[in-house]
Chains A and B, each alone.
Chain A
Amino acid sequence: MRVTVDGNEAAASVAYRLNEVCCIYPITPASPMAELADQWSSRDGMNIWGSVPTVIEMQSEAGAAGAMHGALQGGALSTTFTASQGLLLMIPNMYKIAGELTSTVFHVAARSLAAQALSIFGDHSDVMAARQTGFAMLASASVQEAHDLAVIAQRATLEARVPFIHFFDGFRVSHELNTIETLSDDDLQALIPVELVQAHRSRSMSPENPFIRGTSQNPDVYFQAREAVNPYYAATPGIVSEAMDRFAERTGRRYRLVEYVGHPEAERVVVAMGSAAITLRETVANLSANGERVGVLIIRLYRPFPAEDVVEALPASVRSIAVLDRTKEPGSFGEPLFLDLLGAIAEAYQHGEVGVMPLMIGGRYGLSSKEFTPAMAAGIFAELARDQPRRRFTVGINDDVTGTSLPYDTSFDIEPADTVRAVFFGLGSDGTVGANKNTIKIIGAEADMFAQGYFVYDSKKSGSETVSHLRFGRHPIHAPYLITEASFVGCHRFEFLSRAEVLGTAGHGATLLLNAPYPADQVWQMLPRRVQGQLIDKQIQLFVIDAGAIATEVGLGGRVNTVLQTCFFMLSGLMDQERAIEQVKAFIRKSYARRGERVVTANLAAVERAQQELRSVQIPQEVTSTIEVPSLVPASAPEFVRKVVAKMMAGDGDELPVSAMPADGTWPVGTTAFEKRNVSDIVASWDPEACIQCGNCSFVCPHSVIRSKYYSTSRLGEAPVGFKSAPLRAKGLPGTSYTLQVYEEDCTGCALCVEACPITVPGGQGRRAINLAPKGEEMDAERSAVAFFESLPAMKRSRIDFATVRGTQFLEPLFEFSGACSGCGETPYLKLLSQLFGERAVIANATGCSSIYGGNLPTTPWTKDATGHGPAWSNSLFEDNAEFGLGFRLAADQHAKLARERVQRLRSELGPDLVDAILGAPQRTESELQDQRERLDELKRRLEKLDNPIAQDLSSVVDHLRRRSVWIVGGDGWAYDIGSGGVDHILASGRDVNILVLDTEVYSNTGGQMSKATPLGAVAKFAAAGKTAEKKDLALQAMAYGSVYVARVAIGADPQQTLQAFREAEAYEGPSLVIAYSHCIAHGIDMRKGLDQQYRAVASGYWPLVRYDPMMRAMGENPFLLDSPRPRLAFADYAQRELRYSMLASSDPAEAARLAGLAQEAVDQRWATYEEMATRPAHRFPTDGRRDRV
């Protein structure tokens, strides 16, 4: 059967049907494989032996590997789906699994490893880091191969007993949609002899036939035992080859361990693995058709390395070989595939098996999904033709530091002219990608058509932009690279023309479909000069439609996808127009049926209206526009921002040379301030008359776009027109004005501020003192207002009332304009952290949403104040964050000790008064900390004048004399699951660190998988039938130590309690844990109601606000404070407003009711426990041993 699917589905569909147990953990880009398996399992999908496989989500990949190992030892056919750091965490078990000759296949969507930075994109760094484990490795180069080699690997592992990694390129293959031929259950059955399955079971552990594995061996036998596996590895290539033969007999699709394609007498050959091999194969076909003697050697079996097959496959005529590696091993002699090839051929030459030793060079390409194009492939062949080719090289980048990169002709294009190549620019929220996926399915389903789709997404989660690359043709599409010469460009939002290089990908004579909110005859004059020039130069045909107006008219809101999809079908000429429209309508009926008649009707109406309203625009001969594409960053931005960051923002990061990159992953802070994204047309608007200046709006603003200052009213004389102001509502400060400044260009229109505002303007029909309003026409005026606001002096921190929400609005946020989802429930907490402690904070951030919106380039939100102080932030890994942060503390304590000792030694030189004041300073309150800062400034001045080694030494650590605030930040996936052991250990360590858990109760960043924080009754991925276990009470666990400050907070329920908890946690000299309710897009809520949901979570007793302060215990008081009032809502009144709960009520009402009942019970029980604790005498709480010492 022919279907159009992505690589993940292609591989998972085989893996699922050939296994009994899947132990997984979510990780990009492999998660969809596991999610599909879970989905099939939850719908009782069977494997080919008629049983429903068990899919279990573990707490980490290490856990998944352990469970796999056990399931395999238990005799079950078991698999996992993983990538990157996940595969690394499996390595210890992989040695065991291989060492015990256990049959299994790990399916890996190969991805970069975190080094100077994390990257979610594709290369072979991960699989190459596992090549020494004893696993065989089979590489798929395409979606079809990911499907086919999955079964070949399974057959081979069962026969050879050597475990396999089956891998394919992350994103490029895992997420590419392509039309493939599928394998039926019968095919799979024919290819997997049941005797092999039974043999696997017969090797399992059984008390009926007991034996022992996992012994401890000593110098006498370990070595020999290690060598005992050799015959199995020697036999494996033959077994794989045999499996490939059987596969070819069954399906007609022929694979080889090592496949040579090209000129039979090739002189130049390139060797590669993965999707690049497809690009090379197509390039070779093109070059050899033009008489060039070139070829490509495709490696499918990489381990055990089939040296003989490699040597045999190479034509005798070959004189030079380039071996490509999609990984980087700094300091090595060469990357692994190169070394293997070099060794194999050199050895064969030594033994006379090849007549001539070819010249061999090794190159790197494609790290982190860097494009690998036919042009680059041709560039490598050109390099091989040189007399002295580079011994080592890179391709696809400009390495202007060590000169490794090859030049190539970017205009080289081999794509068949009859392939329709279409590129679409859309917004994540407008349905463009969804519509394109539908288009691919519609066309891919046509008997004689083939389709391919690949989607490039944004690095930001709010207002994200997408670029879809679609190819259609009458032959299978072998082009695993982005489109550069599009025959069709769809621009689904007019503003993109001023921001992105929309027409850069357009080929000569292409068609541009533009969604324009203007009549057709006015569109030309609204286009920027650059775009007009491109339209004329490339002789582009322009079609326009006001899709937004049609979508609104037919009742689809902002969803322009159907309108534009219809236009694409009309313009592309891919299918007979009538049939195409019919198919689109049929697809609408099918895919929207679930949502009800109204949605179907509206979409059908959109199809009709689109056909009527599509207009062609005549392109004049001359450019007439005076509209220039605005510069992305202001001229005043720092040089690095202008030269490097701005290029990345423009989507031209690929052009940046190596020299532009920091070598150690260190980047400047505060770059989001330069990226005015203007993602929302409606923004917050302040009403100075109605405002009571409480600060609630700025407190909850997730994007730090609402800021307050008070200042002398006399300053208003200099204010630009439109600058808003009101007299300060505070006693004792006459002649003082107050401004609540909205940064309109950064506002995402999330409306949390409106929800938080306590004022309802009388007779104002629900108006508040802050409201959403259409963005002003005059952006320049807005910019001058912000500039003037920023020119007003910042408040002195020592004069700000830190104890009240009202006071904190005057603290400068040092976390601003992040790319988090609009209305994010996490970021208000981080902003608060930055305001309160940012100027002396170091932050360890676990991988997850907060590390992505906190550290995903091009621009990052953590910033510094006018004096250059601000949070120092780093992300190590997902699993180690608590430990990482503890390390900050250890270093800080060590250096503080060192500094104290040094300063003491220099007491007389530096001035005894100053030194004594510094060493004796209490550093708890803000004014004490500010005093210390001033003393240290004075100390540094005095140190500069001293010329002695101790003074120099002191200078290097002197900043540690001011108390450093160490924060360990992450989500629940980290704190409850993968990092749980570390969190627990750090809580028990007694060290002065602060752990902030941004609890969304689900893995948000990877798309909503269940964690141990997921509540009872909620639906999540891997809990499609509703979670049946109660959420872990992390707070109670931490309290058990007696030495941990613990708080559970919810900013939307009680901001004052949140503030208090943050301050107490930070001031506490020991470990602190703050668990913060973070509403999330993954809850399935209208994000505007996020704060209301927080309120309900607390009011229902589901999320009791508590604080546990060991200092109170030390003073003989009850340390446990229950801050929220008794439940006054039913749990259901909170829960049923969220899709994660209501979804189950739809799909399984009886189970939903049962779980809701249990959840209510759990709420009641926990409340009773807490109430009892709140009234317990102090002596019934544990004593903090650190303080009890006499």
Chain B
Amino acid sequence: MNLSTRYMGIDLKNPVVASASSQTYTLEGVRRLSMGGVGAIVMHSLFEEELLADAEQRARLLEVGSESFPESLSYFPDPLPSKRAQQYLELLERAVATAEVPVIASLNGATPGGWTAHAREMEDAGAAAIELNIHMVPVGPGIDGRRVEELHVEILQQVKAAVHVPVAVKLSPFFSSVAQMASRLDAAGADAVVLFSRFPHPRIDPESLEVIPGVDLSSPVESRLPQTWVALLHGHLQAAIGASGGVEGVEDVVSYLLAGADVVMTTSALLRHGPEYAGSLAEGLALWMSRKGFDALDQVRGLLAVPQGNDAATWQRAQYVDTLRVANANWQGPW
């Protein structure tokens, strides 16, 4: 079965893509992913914010107690420049050389200059594409939603102007109009949109009275939201669509493809079952296709997307009402 496909103009042997995770922290991890059967690898993100926080903390600790006592005007040797960004780039370069599949770099910038500079460096290091992880959580009540949207577009435009490789934008689901946001990014030149990034919600532990950082792996039910939006956006964008979230088994991969995704990304499943699981997913997909009589992905992709020209909102509302009715029928309390 031919599972090959194109994503942002890049040829992939199959549509299962390893999304950004700790698996790419080491070259060995990258190698295993590559051997495990994925179609492409998205590296973990370079977090400029972290680099800056690291530099800031370093500077702060260096200053503690300095210039106070005549015998010890400092406590550390003059620090050598930080190589943390360089470390990422070196790993990326070696990953590109090692992996037999395309390697996409992921960038989470923090400053206007940082986005473009790091993107250029990633391109130079051989990244097949760059995924912008614009992870902006507008927690403050004073932050204007429109401004958040503009920032996404501005960052994309700057990076596009800076590099020649394709650029994807990973979106959060928290926009008033996800579709419009995707369209604006599309118009601004995005080569792909990835739906969606996960916001690690913290959890409250009532026993210890503590807030526990949310680092749980995703579960299949989480695929519903991205799947819905993939279905709605399919056919409306020039940009490719990457689907991300809640992939556990073959059926989840298939569902995303049916909804219209160009590629299906997974982290949790690979973390749970190991990198080789990507191969199983691809094989399962091939089996399903042959069972269902498809012989190319194009025949599958978007089969269950919202039909073009239809009133998508009506379609969705109808689905929603159905869903609610079913829920009310099935979930009754003990009273």
A binding-site residues for B, Cβ under 8 Å:
28-29, 31-32, 35, 38-39, 42-43, 120, 171, 175, 428-429, 431, 433-434, 455, 457-458, 460-461, 464, 466, 594-599, 821, 852, 1004-1008, 1019-1024, 1081-1082, 1084-1087, 1139-1140, 1142-1143, 1145-1150
Given the interface pairs A594-B59, A1139-B61, the reply to whether A428 lies near B77 with Cβ below 8 Å is no
What are the residues of chain B within 8 A of A597 when measuring CB–CB? 52, 110-111
**A1006–B59 alpha-carbon span in the complex (Å):** 20
Inter-chain contact A434/B67, CB cutoff 8 Å: yes
Given the interface pairs A38-B77, A1024-B77, A1148-B80, the reply to whether A599 lies near B69 with Cβ below 8 Å is no
Q: Of all chain A residues, which has the CB nearest B77?
A: A1024
Q: How far is the CB of B92 from chain A (nearest CB, A)?
A: 14
Q: Please tell me if B207 contacts chain A, counting CB pairs below 8 Å.
A: no
Q: How far is the CB of A6 from chain B (nearest CB, A)?
A: 10
Q: Of all chain A residues, which has the CB nearest B53?
A: A596
Q: How far is the CB of B207 from chain A (nearest CB, A)?
A: 13
Inter-chain contact B77/A596, CB cutoff 8 Å: no
**A1005–B71 alpha-carbon span in the complex (Å):** 6
**A38–B76 alpha-carbon span in the complex (Å):** 12
Inter-chain contact A1084/B56, CB cutoff 8 Å: no
What are the residues of chain B within 8 A of A434 when measuring CB–CB? 63, 66-67
Q: Of all chain A residues, which has the CB nearest B78?
A: A39
CB contact between B67 and one of A38, A433, A1139, A1140 (< 8 Å): that residue = A433
Inter-chain contact A466/B76, CB cutoff 8 Å: no
Interface residues of B in 58-114 (CB under 8 A from A): 58-84, 87, 110-111
**A466–B81 alpha-carbon span in the complex (Å):** 30
CB contact between A458 and one of B61, B69, B79, B80 (< 8 Å): that residue = B69
CB contact between B77 and one of A42, A455, A461, A1085 (< 8 Å): that residue = A42
**A594–B74 alpha-carbon span in the complex (Å):** 17
Q: Please tell me if B55 contacts chain A, counting CB pairs below 8 Å.
A: yes
Inter-chain contact A1139/B70, CB cutoff 8 Å: no
What are the residues of chain B within 8 A of A1006 when measuring CB–CB? 71-72
Q: Of all chain B residues, which has the CB nearest A1006?
A: B71
**A1007–B76 alpha-carbon span in the complex (Å):** 7
Inter-chain contact B54/A1008, CB cutoff 8 Å: no
What are the residues of chain B within 8 A of A466 when measuring CB–CB? 67-68
Given the interface pairs A1006-B71, A1146-B79, the reply to whether A821 lies near B65 with Cβ below 8 Å is yes
Q: What are 17 A-B contacts defined by CB distance under 8 Å?
A: A38-B77, A39-B78, A171-B70, A428-B68, A428-B69, A431-B63, A596-B52, A596-B53, A597-B111, A852-B71, A1004-B72, A1021-B77, A1023-B77, A1081-B75, A1139-B62, A1143-B58, A1149-B83
Q: Of all chain A residues, which has the CB nearest B51?
A: A596
Inter-chain contact A1019/B77, CB cutoff 8 Å: yes
**A1147–B85 alpha-carbon span in the complex (Å):** 10
What are the residues of chain B within 8 A of A458 when measuring CB–CB? 68-69
Inter-chain contact A1007/B73, CB cutoff 8 Å: yes
Q: Of all chain A residues, which has the CB nearest B48?
A: A596
Q: How far is the CB of A1081 from chain B (nearest CB, A)?
A: 4
Map CB proximity to A onto B142-170 as digits: 1 under 8 Å, 0 otherwise: 00000000000000000000000000000
The 5 closest A-B pairs by CB, nearest first: A428-B68, A1007-B72, A596-B52, A1147-B80, A1008-B75
**A1008–B78 alpha-carbon span in the complex (Å):** 12
Q: Of all chain B residues, which has the CB nearest A437?
A: B67
Interface residues of B in 4-63 (CB under 8 A from A): 52-56, 58-63
What are the residues of chain A within 8 A of B79 when measuring CB–CB? 1143, 1146-1147
**A821–B81 alpha-carbon span in the complex (Å):** 28
What are the residues of chain B within 8 A of A1140 when measuring CB–CB? 76
**A1086–B77 alpha-carbon span in the complex (Å):** 18
Inter-chain contact A28/B70, CB cutoff 8 Å: yes
CB contact between A596 and one of B56, B62, B64, B76 (< 8 Å): that residue = B56
Inter-chain contact A461/B69, CB cutoff 8 Å: yes
What are the residues of chain B within 8 A of A32 when measuring CB–CB? 73
**A31–B58 alpha-carbon span in the complex (Å):** 23
Q: Of all chain B residues, which has the CB nearest A1024?
A: B77
Q: Of all chain B residues, which has the CB nearest A822?
A: B65
What are the residues of chain B within 8 A of A431 when measuring CB–CB? 63, 67
Q: How far is the CB of B192 from chain A (nearest CB, A)?
A: 29
Inter-chain contact B65/A1146, CB cutoff 8 Å: no
Q: How far is the CB of A230 from chain B (nearest CB, A)?
A: 42
Inter-chain contact A1081/B64, CB cutoff 8 Å: yes
What are the residues of chain A within 8 A of B53 when measuring CB–CB? 596
CB contact between B56 and one of A35, A38, A595 (< 8 Å): that residue = A595
Given the interface pairs A457-B69, A1146-B84, the reply to whether A598 lies near B64 with Cβ below 8 Å is no
**A466–B69 alpha-carbon span in the complex (Å):** 9
Q: Of all chain B residues, which has the CB nearest A456?
A: B70
Inter-chain contact A594/B61, CB cutoff 8 Å: no
CB contact between A1082 and one of B73, B75, B83 (< 8 Å): that residue = B75
Inter-chain contact B69/A1008, CB cutoff 8 Å: no
**A460–B72 alpha-carbon span in the complex (Å):** 12
Q: How far is the CB of B122 from chain A (nearest CB, A)?
A: 17
Q: How far is the CB of B114 from chain A (nearest CB, A)?
A: 8
What are the residues of chain A within 8 A of B62 when measuring CB–CB? 1084, 1139
What are the residues of chain B within 8 A of A1019 when measuring CB–CB? 76-77
Q: How far is the CB of A973 from chain B (nearest CB, A)?
A: 12
What are the residues of chain A within 8 A of B87 when measuring CB–CB? 1149-1150
What are the residues of chain B within 8 A of A35 when measuring CB–CB? 77
What are the residues of chain B within 8 A of A460 when measuring CB–CB? 69
CB contact between B76 and one of A464, A594, A1143 (< 8 Å): that residue = A1143
Task: Using A428-B69, A597-B111, A1019-B76 as known contacts, list a sample of 15 further A-B pairs with CB atoms less than 8 Å apart, ordered by residue number in A.
Answer: A43-B80, A428-B67, A428-B68, A594-B55, A596-B56, A1007-B72, A1007-B73, A1024-B77, A1082-B75, A1084-B76, A1086-B61, A1139-B62, A1146-B79, A1147-B81, A1149-B87
Inter-chain contact A457/B68, CB cutoff 8 Å: yes
**A39–B78 alpha-carbon span in the complex (Å):** 7
What are the residues of chain A within 8 A of B70 when measuring CB–CB? 28-29, 120, 171, 175, 457
**A43–B78 alpha-carbon span in the complex (Å):** 10
Inter-chain contact A1146/B76, CB cutoff 8 Å: no
Inter-chain contact B64/A1087, CB cutoff 8 Å: yes
Q: How far is the CB of A20 from chain B (nearest CB, A)?
A: 21
What are the residues of chain A within 8 A of B84 when measuring CB–CB? 1145-1146, 1149
Inter-chain contact A1007/B80, CB cutoff 8 Å: no
What are the residues of chain A within 8 A of B111 when measuring CB–CB? 597
**A859–B163 alpha-carbon span in the complex (Å):** 65
Select the residue from B64, B70, B78 with max chain A CB neighbours within 10 A.
Answer: B70
Inter-chain contact B68/A1008, CB cutoff 8 Å: no
Inter-chain contact A1139/B65, CB cutoff 8 Å: no
**A537–B53 alpha-carbon span in the complex (Å):** 50
Map CB proximity to A onto B172-197 as digits: 1 under 8 Å, 0 otherwise: 00000000000000000000000000
What are the residues of chain B within 8 A of A821 when measuring CB–CB? 65
CB contact between B72 and one of A175, A1005, A1142 (< 8 Å): that residue = A1005
Inter-chain contact A1084/B61, CB cutoff 8 Å: yes
**A457–B84 alpha-carbon span in the complex (Å):** 36
Q: How far is the CB of B81 from chain A (nearest CB, A)?
A: 7
What are the residues of chain A within 8 A of B81 when measuring CB–CB? 594, 1147
What are the residues of chain A within 8 A of B64 when measuring CB–CB? 1081, 1084, 1087
Q: How far is the CB of A1173 from chain B (nearest CB, A)?
A: 35
**A1089–B72 alpha-carbon span in the complex (Å):** 22
Q: How far is the CB of B44 from chain A (nearest CB, A)?
A: 14
**A895–B73 alpha-carbon span in the complex (Å):** 45
Q: Of all chain A residues, which has the CB nearest B72?
A: A1007
**A433–B67 alpha-carbon span in the complex (Å):** 6
Given the interface pairs A1008-B72, A1140-B76, the reply to whether A428 lies near B65 with Cβ below 8 Å is yes
Inter-chain contact A1084/B75, CB cutoff 8 Å: yes
What are the residues of chain A within 8 A of B73 when measuring CB–CB? 32, 1007
What are the residues of chain B within 8 A of A1146 when measuring CB–CB? 54-55, 58, 79, 82-84
**A1142–B57 alpha-carbon span in the complex (Å):** 11
What are the residues of chain B within 8 A of A1022 when measuring CB–CB? 77
Q: How far is the CB of B85 from chain A (nearest CB, A)?
A: 10
**A175–B56 alpha-carbon span in the complex (Å):** 28
**A1007–B78 alpha-carbon span in the complex (Å):** 12
